[in-house]
Amino acid sequence: MKCRTTIKLKIPKKIQLLKLFDSYLKACQYSADKALEHECKTKYDLHNIIYYNIRKLFKLKSQFAINAIAKGFEAYLSAKKLKGKKPVFKSVPVRFDRRTFTFFADKISLTTQEKRCVVPIDIPVYYWKYLDWTYQTADLILIKDKMFINITFAREVNTSTVGSTTVGVDLGINQLAVCSDGQVFKGHKTRIIQHNYLRKKLQAKGTKSAKRLLRKVSGKQKRYMAWVNHNISKTIVDSADTIVMENLKGIRKNRKGKRFNRWLNSWTFFQLQQFIKYKAEVQGKKVVFVSPYMTSQTCSNCLKIGSRYSNSFVCLHCGFSCDSDLNASYNLRRLNVTQPYSSCDDVKGFIATATEHRAKSPAL
């Protein structure tokens, strides 16, 4: 399995890079306009029409011209879906590959319109662990007169030799994550309530200062939730060799009321799953996604359908009862192993551990 990661570095602005950025932006806009004018059906049709014109007009190397045509055609397709919208490029990253840039530990060599440009770089200590990986691509980005380059690294990871520890992880709204080994990570409802109240108040006010504060609050909330997800994902990945989670694609299509939908849209479950996935892959661990069908209603002890009441689960067939999220995590783990939990003593042991973790777990 190939594992990828991206490092972001700030680099000094060079005249050659600024010229390349400007020409590439204009080439993307030119490509989108020509795609709209000729109503191109495929990227290759557009390529045959404007490739040599782009190279001549904007003096771009062949690889940059090809990438600009692809970007322009993608923007054209997106605008086409909006019916009548004209594609407009305000900013676009310049894509480099192994043919157009070379990476060294202290510098990078980038192809420009005229000749190679050597740019010094200072790699933070945190990224040193990726330096023995193979570099793949790089994106040159200009943000508020500051220039950055995002370099992607990759390596092959062998997951066939991982250990036998398997944990099921049930994601929820009241509890962000509940693991089958007893770990419980509390939710952030209080923060979301505060954020929603402040956002509603600022939107109602509608002044320039209120809108400015609204943007600031929105960024602060996103950073907080990302910090929470980073901490949770790190703990979960360190606790097991195989992690089993639900495939939650399309969950927001199920509408269950205005209040529930508000909580659901504030729930960054996809981000948490992605954090767990990439951190596990870096360590050579496995992440398995299974169908969530009936995992919350099935008894993890006798495998028959039970009853779920809010945060509790009760099975009328065998008399088993426990936290509903904990029961779902048991079922997720069972779906990835050959033998389900068949002993009530084993389940009681997990419940005791979960109760202990729940008491010790601080609210994030």
pLDDT tens series, the chain, 364 aa: 788 889 999 999 999 999 999 999 999 999 999 999 998 999 999 999 999 999 999 999 999 999 999 999 999 998 888 776 788 898 899 999 999 999 998 999 999 998 899 999 999 998 998 888 999 999 999 988 899 999 999 988 776 655 678 899 988 776 888 998 889 888 666 677 777 788 888 888 888 888 888 888 777 778 888 888 899 999 999 988 889 998 877 665 555 555 555 555 656 778 888 899 988 888 888 888 888 888 888 888 888 888 887 788 888 888 888 888 888 888 888 887 644 443 444 444 444 544 554 455 444 4
- Give the DSSP H/E element, type plus range, for residue 21: helix 15-38
DSSP letter assigned to residue 165: -
What's the one-letter identity of residue 134? Answer: T
Domains present along the chain, CATH in parentheses: 1-156 (no CATH), 166-188+219-360 (3.30.420)
Q: According to the model, what pLDDT value does residue 160 have?
A: 60
DSSP letter assigned to residue 232: H
Cα radius of gyration rounded to whole Å, the chain: 26
3-state secondary structure 266-324: CCCHHHHHHHHHHHHHHCCCEEEEECCCCCCCECCCCCCECEEECCEEECCCCCCEEEH
Nearest to 304 by CA among 318, 323, 322, 324: 318
Bridge-based pairing of strands 242-246 and 286-290 is parallel
Which two tokens mark 349? 């042991």
Q: According to the model, what pLDDT value does residue 358 have?
A: 46
- Give the DSSP H/E element, type plus range, for residue 80: helix 62-81
Bridge-based pairing of strands 166-171 and 242-246 is parallel
DSSP letter assigned to residue 340: -
Q: According to the model, what pLDDT value does residue 257 have?
A: 58
Q: According to the model, what pLDDT value does residue 362 have?
A: 46
Longest dimension (CA), the chain: 78
Q: According to the model, what pLDDT value does residue 363 have?
A: 43
| Residue reference for tokens 């003096």 | 59
Which two tokens mark 55? 């190279």
Neighbours of 119 (CB within 10 A): 19
Supply the pTM of this predicted model.
0.68
What's the one-letter identity of residue 144? Answer: K
Q: According to the model, what pLDDT value does residue 23 have?
A: 94
Q: What is the DSSP code string of 105-157?
A: SSEEEEE-SSSEEEEE----GGGGGGTTSEEEEEEEEEETTEEEEEEEEEEE-
Q: According to the model, what pLDDT value does residue 25 have?
A: 94
| Residue reference for tokens 């011209």 | 65
